[in-house]
Structure 1
């Protein structure tokens, strides 16, 4: 059964949260694919992950990279899994993949200040539960740490 985690951004930006979650995934030895909404968004995230922190290196590439299959973190706007990731991050309203059962974990990150994103996350929640996945809902506490709420 695939674990589907819903991360509700309230006073945080994706550009701050995503690198932290990717670092944790790599520390656990997971391979990751991040699905964004467009090629432009992929390029923006790629640039951001090279510069988001001076004292850290987050190995990653994009689906346009000739060595995409070797990347521990791959950013794409497509629904494939060229780097054989076991964790898939879904941002910008990316849909649950048809091959969701092939992942250990799906991580759906949505902006709680965007009514459309919240409505879409609720639809994805129902879809995940309907497909028999183990869905959980996470919000940051007053210290910014993620706490499971459902």
Structure 2
């Protein structure tokens, strides 16, 4: 793992988090990276999938659910399991737990909003990474 970034948003709205994730995934994909977005469950994966079809408003972000062989291949995929397919590039973690496969990725992004439950889990994630010696960067947005 080369880099862990915490992106700190001023909002407490879940939509702000997803909107930023869309922008971040879009930017990474445009730079030639493959992106895996990890969420807790199938309901979140479906909601994020629908959100990404509408965001970003000024461009199109091709994506699919991990393992969806009916959809065309895409640089951005969403997973609600511990599976990461052949992804090794960028992981955007929206889970309440640190994904077990996080070390396989070159970059890890944690997107933080000012909601109490998100702040609690991302503090735990920060402590987890720091206690294992990973360099962690904060970016206040």
Q: Under TM normalisation by the shorter chain, which class is it?
A: 0.7 to 0.9
Any gaps of 5 or more consecutive residues in structure 2? Answer: none
Partner of 2:55: 52
Any gaps of 5 or more consecutive residues in structure 1? Answer: 141-150
Deviation at 1:70, TM superposition (A): 3.4
TM-score, normalised relative to structure 1: 0.81
After alignment, is 66-75 or 46-55 more displaced? 66-75
Partner of 1:124: 125
Partner Cα separation in structure 2 for residue 55 and residue 137 of structure 1? 27
Partner Cα separation in structure 2 for residue 83 and residue 103 of structure 1? 10
Aligned length: 138
Q: Is the 8 A contact 2:93 2:99 kept in 1?
A: no
Aligned with residue 113 of structure 2, among 108, 111, 115: 111
Matches within 5 A, 1:97-108: 97-108=99-110
Deviation at 1:69, TM superposition (A): 9.4
Partner Cα separation in structure 2 for residue 131 and residue 34 of structure 1? 23
Partner of 2:137: 136
Deviation at 1:81, TM superposition (A): 1.3
Q: Is the 8 A contact 2:19 2:56 kept in 1?
A: no
**TM-align CA RMSD:** 2.1
